[in-house]
Amino acid sequence: MSDFEIERTYMNENQLDPESENSSTHPVRSARPLWIAAIVALCLAAVAVAFIVDQHKIASQLSARNQELTTSLTQTQGQMQALGSELNAMKTEEAAREEAELTARHPTPVYHARYRSPHRVVKKDDPRWKQ
């Protein structure tokens, strides 16, 4: 006989006997709801632990992927800087070559000063003002 059947039989006997209600013995409460609550709590705890473990695994995978992407990005930035430096060097060389070609085609004109400024001009009185 199962616990449930025993409990049902016990309850039926107590209901049929009017003296049993007045007696000091109370029907024994079933432990079944307590066991059900314990099993449900244990299942919930197991699900929570599984969820935590899964989240930890996902977090570590994302961290590793993030580290890989950071390394890749750093390498790409280094390559971009190297290419930028090469491009700037090529532009500088091209500008210098164009300047040399321009100078070779058109020599720079030499400008002579119209007035000599190194010596000082002494002003003499104009004889016309002495009149």
The answer to pTM > 0.95 is: no
pLDDT in tens, 12-65: 555 544 444 444 555 556 778 899 999 999 999 999 999 999 999 999 999 999
pLDDT in tens, 1-24: 566 666 666 665 555 444 444 445
42-43-44-48 Cα dihedral, nearest 10 degrees: 100
* Residue 30, Cβ density class (10 Å: 0-12 exposed, 13-18 middle, ≥19 buried): middle
Who has greater pLDDT, 90 or 128?
Answer: 90
- Mean of the per-residue pLDDT values of the chain: 80
Query: Looking at residue 75, what is its pLDDT?
Result: 97
- Secondary structure class of 107 (helix, strand, coil): coil
Query: Looking at residue 23, what is its pLDDT?
Result: 47
Instruction: List the structure tokens of 91.
Output: 């532009």
With a cut of 60, say whether residue 86 has pLDDT above it.
yes
